Chain A
Amino acid sequence: DQQVKQNSPSLSVQEGRISILNCDYTNSMFDYFLWYKKYPAEGPTFLISISSIKDKNEDGRFTVFLNKSAKHLSLHIVPSQPGDSAVYFCAAIGDSNYKLTFGKGTLLTVNP
């Protein structure tokens, strides 16, 4: 039973355009959400997060939007750069042990 779902295994965009990565969750106990970026054979790097009390958080080119009623969040990257090409994981926290539940990831390819 997958509690965090990233339904698009891959996404391809042109350099300079917007990348939108989507994530859905089923567990209403999740109250904090994170996005990680991962290159092959490396550990994930934390990108940006959002608490359930907010609907938007912005950090430079990265913005995360949260729609609690739809149990949906999205990561926007503007403008996209070739160096953004990586796998992006959505993760959620819903207990006091701060355990992360991950989606399966979306491979983003930014074409020059």
Chain B
Amino acid sequence: DGGITQSPKYLFRKEGQNVTLSCEQNLNHDAMYWYRQDPGQGLRLIYYSQIVNDFQKGDIAEGYSVSREKKESFPLTVTSAQKNPTAFYLCASRDTGYEQYFGPGTRLTVT
């Protein structure tokens, strides 16, 4: 069963702590993306990676970091420098076409 998995579904952290969100895909897609969604807002691009060992900043990369050591995995770290980390985080991947396919998302709450 091919797809994108994100874990956990819900994540709670204290302010000042770094937290890493998992994204794994078994679709053999080269490109992967991280977005965040806030209430009443569209999705905004955080980071993306077109190929293993390479990634670029999106529109709102400040306070986030990523790695792409394996084709299947694109973890996102939300650092303590991110001013408003509470959000719904979505990972996506893309094959050779235009369409991106999304995982189920992780709801991060920082208090």
Residues of A within 8 A of B (CB): 4, 9, 32, 34, 36, 41-46, 49, 89, 91, 93, 97-105
Contact = CB atoms under 8 A, between A and B. Distances in A.
Interface in B38-90: 40-45, 48, 50, 56, 58, 88, 90
Given A42-B104, A42-B105, A99 B99 contact: no
Given A44-B90, A93-B98, A100-B100, A105 B42 contact: yes
Nearest to B9: A41
Given A46-B101, A98-B94, A89 B43 contact: yes
B48 to A, nearest CB: 7
B31 interface: yes
Interface of B: 4, 6, 31, 33, 35, 40-45, 48, 50, 56, 58, 88, 90, 92, 94, 98-105, 107
A100 B88 contact: no
B1 to A, nearest CB: 16
B42 A97 contact: no
B42 A99 contact: no
A43 B34 CA distance: 12
